[in-house]
Amino acid sequence: MKILVCISHVPDTTSKINFTDNDAEFDKNGVQFVINPYDEFCLTRAMWFKEKQGATVTVVNVGGAETEPTLRKALAIGADDAIRINVAATDGFLVAKELAAVVKAGSYDLVLAGKESADYNGQMVPGMLAAFVDYNFINGCVDLEIDGTSVAAKREIDGGNETVSTSLPLVIGGQKGIVEEKDLRIPNMRGIMMARKKPMQVVEGTGVVAATNNISFEKLAPKGAVKLIAADNLDALIDLLHNEAKVI
């Protein structure tokens, strides 16, 4: 089985979000970038398939050279090789279409992507990619088993989950559950050493034109001060929620 894991390179979850150039650009100053948390779950699941069922695992990112340390980290976790598509990832449509070219060229059986990326939260790449390559697609996947080309999976739905069956080739939008938190892998020394020698292929894009463009950003409006209510005066809280906030 040939697996491709799509890796989005995103600000660490604790990052303070600021903008420069008149709020037109995200301020990367002092921001630490990491593998998108959802993609980490997917990568760990891919490693499981590799070790238990025999699979090759390629990681891919659409982005500039600055994303290579993130791809190296994925290699240190255990992926066999990496591809960087040398295009600025400005829009989900563009990213998905560039990824589609790599998926087709490599005839991957299984493409694992995260449900959403922690930067622009597009929640669009996996579904668009599946549509471009005409693979089966399961979004919000929380359980994935593969036997030959048969697939049994679960996806999250409002208030529960749905069991589905399908077949390879397949694109997954994965989230926590596809593996558990405790099973996430952290690169060890040996992995980091080995990652340095693993192949990192840089391919040029196919010239896709973005369909959307973020022209400016806004921070959240500053919040007013909290109204504190004494613990022995909960009637006041109920009164405020009813008469002032009008939510109960």
Partner 1 sequence: MSVLVFADSTDGKFKKTSFEVVSYGKKVAEQVASNLVVLTINANDASELYKYGAAKVIAITNDALLTFNAKEYAAVIVAIAQKENATIVVMDSSINGLYVSPMVAVSLDAGYASNTVALPSSTDPFTVKRKAFSNKAFSNTIISSEKKVIALAKNSFGIHENPVAGILENFDVQVAASGVVSEKVERVTGKVTIADADTVVSAGRGMKGPENWGMIEELASVLGAATACSKPVSDLGWRPHGEHVGQTGKPVASNLYIAIGISGAIQHLAGINASKVKVVINSDPEAPFFKAADYGVVGDAFEVIPTLIEKLKAFKEA
Ligand X SMILES: Nc1ncnc2c1ncn2[C@@H]1O[C@H](COP(=O)(O)O)[C@@H](O)[C@H]1O
Ligand Y SMILES: Cc1cc2nc3c(=O)[nH]c(=O)nc-3n(C[C@H](O)[C@H](O)[C@H](O)COP(=O)(O)OP(=O)(O)OC[C@H]3O[C@@H](n4cnc5c(N)ncnc54)[C@H](O)[C@@H]3O)c2cc1C
Q: Which residues bind ligand X (CB under 6 A)?
A: 6-8, 36, 38-39, 60-63, 89, 92, 95, 113-114, 116-117, 120-126
Which token pair is 87? Answer: 């295009």
- Report residue 36 as tokens: 């998108």
Q: Minimum distance between the CB of residue 101 and ligand X, rounded to whole angstroms?
A: 13
Residue with tokens 């600025």: 88
Please return the burial class of 157, using the count of CB atoms within 10 Å of its CB with bins 0-12, 13-18 and 19+. exposed
- Interface with partner 1, residue 186, by CB under 8 A: no
Shortest reach from residue 172's CB to ligand X, in Å: 9
Report the Cα 224 to chain-centroid distance in Å.
33
To the nearest 10°, report the CA torsion of 36, 5, 166, 173. 20
> At closest approach, how far in Å is the CB of 7 from partner 1?
16
Residue 94 DSSP SS3 = helix
Distance in angstroms (rounded) separating the CA atoms of residues 126 and 115: 7
CB atoms within 10 A of CB 86: 15
145 contacts which partner out of ligand Y, partner 1, ligand X, none, CB within 5 to 8 A by kind?
A: none
Residue 155 pairs with which residues in a beta bridge? Answer: 141, 162
Element (H, E) at 183: none
Q: How far is the CB of 186 from ligand X (least distance, A)?
A: 19
| CA–CA gap between residue 107 and residue 4 (Å, rounded) | 10
Say how far apart CA 1 and CA 5 lie, in whole Å. 13
**Chosen residue from 105, 131, 193, 202 binding partner 1 by CB under 8 A:** 131
The listed partner (partner 1, ligand Y, ligand X, none) that binds 61, CB under 5 to 8 Å by sort, is ligand X
- The one segment of 67-75, 103-111, 130-138, 197-205 that binds partner 1 by CB under 8 A: 130-138
In the complex, the smallest distance separating the C-beta of residue 13 from ligand Y, rounded to whole angstroms, is 4
Query: Which is closer to ligand Y, CB of 37 or CB of 140?
Result: 37
Binding of residue 124 to partner 1 (CB under 8 A): yes
Binding test (CB under 6 A) with ligand Y, winner from 6, 9, 35, 37 = 37
- Partner whose footprint covers residue 63, from ligand X, partner 1, ligand Y, none (CB < 5 to 8 Å by kind): ligand X
User: Among residues 13 and 188, whose Cβ is nearest to ligand Y?
Assistant: 13
Q: Which amino acid makes up residue 186?
A: I
Nearer to partner 1, 108 or 132 (CB): 132
